[in-house]
A and B are shown apart, each in its own frame.
Chain A
Amino acid sequence: MTSLRQKHRTETLRNLAFLSPWLIGVSVFFLYPLVSTVYFSFMKYDGFTPPTWTGWKNWQYVFTDYPFFWPALRNTLWLVVVMVTLRVVFGLGIGLLITKVKTGAGFFRTAFYLPYLAPPVAATMAFAFLLNPGTGPVNSILGSIGLPQPGWFNDPAWSKPALTMLALWGIGDLMVIFMASLLDVPQEQYEAASLDGAGAWQRFRYVTLPNISPIVLFAVVTGVIQTMQYYTQPLVAGKVASGVIGGAGQQFEPGYPDKSTLTLPQLVYHLGFQRFDTGGASVIALVLFALAMVFTAFLMRSMSERSVA
């Protein structure tokens, strides 16, 4: 009995030793700040004078008076519906294409993958240049063939489509994931379908799609979660297009043009670090947390069904 208990104790100690970096990390960098954020969401605190209790005032302010909150939520919905959908469809299309290419497959794979690696700030600045309405190459080309030349990042109606193009340019991650799953589809199923007289579309519809549907779901859910984190690209695009960048200390009101590029993470920065409204920033952070966790729960369920986790 004693030896069994002793063995159990050594094992517990061993487990704790192996897990210790994570235990400290999750407590100090996740659980503590999460609880603290809940606390600050009920406090009036500017970072300098001591915090005072205000009840639901911060929540009320964010939901009813803060002019950026609802536009940011609407933009997020737009991005989920349009950007995530297009990324999944385009990623699947490019993945399919690359599995069919026979000549120069290595070149095409690298060419399609590389943009994904471009650092987000660099890629966004590059697109701000490519799409700038005055001298950008895209509008030069559109103009020379007589097509309309949109204002892209300078036009509230075109800024999100421009961000979507940037997101499609960096499709490499989804391409690789879809490519791997397409190659895993059993070849016999295609042959059997062909013998039954199925055309290309029917083979895709009745063989390919059912086989890769877990991956499609995975791509959609992680896409939605990435949208909740969407920060650098809309912020930098707005800054560059508006011309308001000038090193440290310069204040940029996010969302240019006309709140069309606002996303929730930007609001945390805007309230917390530009307006010194710690309470309001905490409310946004908790809304963001709730949204991210709802979709993460979806993800975990779909993963445990595939016995990944």
Chain B
Amino acid sequence: MTATAIPSPVTLTPAARTARRTRFLHWIGVHSLAIAAALFFVLPFVFIFLTALMSDQQALTRDLWPDSWHWENLRTVWETPGFLTWWKNTLLYAGLGTALTLLSSIPVAYALARFTFRGRNVVLMLVIATMMLPPQVVIVPMYLFWAKQLHLSGTLWPLIIPMAFTDAFSVFLLRQFLLTIPKDYVDAAKVDGCGEFKALVRIVLPMAKPAIAAVALFQFFYCWNDYFGPQIYASENPAAWTLSYGLESFKGAHHTNWNLTMAATLLVMAPVIILFFFAQKAFIEGVTLTGVKG
């Protein structure tokens, strides 16, 4: 086979053709892998969804596809006694907790990013240490403090009040971002007669909006997802349960009904996922801020 084709204007040289074929094979390879990975990440959601809409009888079988679609399962879950209270409690915990965290953490993060003072490194080390601390380490004395001295067990206040006194992770994240704002802006404002606090509110905060949004989202999610906190302080009083804590008891009440349990699971996941679509950018920025950019 020595016949060589006469190159016409439209055919490519053999080298270019090989390069194009390699690129095409590469494209196929990468995208097949991506589709396989997508199946791993998406299929669990699909199965949860399909099972949530099955009839009670079918949910006990190995079937993957519902024979008939029972959308009323979602309503049954919604109308379960307590479910609405858990919603309200979760929103209170997450909403108030996030607001308090921002109010208390922003000035501290600003001081750590801008001021030089003796012991600043010690403060920073303590912030990082408390950020990495498992909450179980201090839970015994903390429980005694809230329950025996302040009589606040059976409520979510032992979880909300500490957020008025900063959250280590939020302080750290905000500081990392504030470091990137040039000092000149603040200095210029001070020349114009602004005090340090005024400069923070007027100049720095508007510039730090993306970081504040990211921190707010993380804190909101932390509260939304928290299981250990409500388990310690609220378990004795179902009227104070949150969604993450109550969800589990749902499985207990509907012992064999995977369909209703999955419907409840779906309803707990949904708000987080909806929020994500609205705030995608802030999220991704927040995750990359956690310790990579520096």
B276 at the interface (CB under 8 A from A): yes
Number of A-B pairs whose CB atoms are under 8 Å?
Answer: 283
Give the contact stretch, choosing among B3-11, B59-67, B72-80, B184-192.
Answer: B59-67
> Which chain A residues numbered 217 to 239 have a C-beta less than 8 Å away from chain B?
218, 222, 225, 228-229, 231-232, 236, 239
Q: Are A169 and B44 in contact (CB under 8 A)?
A: yes
Q: Are A121 and B287 in contact (CB under 8 A)?
A: no
Contacts known (A22-B171, A28-B165, A177-B287); A122 close to B140, Cβ less than 8 A? no
User: Interface SS of chain B: helix, strand, loop or mixed?
Assistant: helix
Task: Find chain B residues with CB under 8 A from A176 CB.
Answer: 284, 287-288
Q: Are A236 and B134 in contact (CB under 8 A)?
A: no
Instruction: Say how far A291's CB is from chain B's closest CB, in angstroms.
Output: 9
Report A283-301 CB contacts with B as 1/0, cut-off 8 Å.
Answer: 0011011001101100110
Give A243 to B252 CA distance when docked, in angstroms: 8
Q: Which of A40, A102, A140 contacts B64 (CB 8 A)?
A: A140
Instruction: Say how far A198's CB is from chain B's closest CB, in angstroms.
Output: 16
Q: Are A114 and B273 in contact (CB under 8 A)?
A: yes
Instruction: Say how far B7's CB is from chain A's closest CB, in angstroms.
Output: 27
B137 at the interface (CB under 8 A from A): yes
Q: Which of A121, A127, A285 contacts B225 (CB 8 A)?
A: A121
Given contacts A120-B225, A129-B258, 16 further A-B contacts (CB under 8 A): A25-B104, A29-B142, A29-B162, A100-B30, A102-B30, A121-B268, A122-B244, A126-B44, A129-B261, A135-B62, A137-B47, A180-B288, A247-B252, A285-B138, A289-B137, A292-B137
Spell out B's residues near A (CB within 8 Å).
27, 30-31, 33-34, 37-38, 40-42, 44-45, 47-48, 51, 59-62, 64, 104-105, 107-108, 110-111, 115, 117, 123-130, 132-145, 148, 162, 164-166, 171, 176, 196, 221, 224-225, 227-228, 231-232, 235-238, 243-245, 247-249, 251-253, 255, 258, 261-262, 265, 268-269, 272-273, 276, 280, 284, 287-288, 290-294
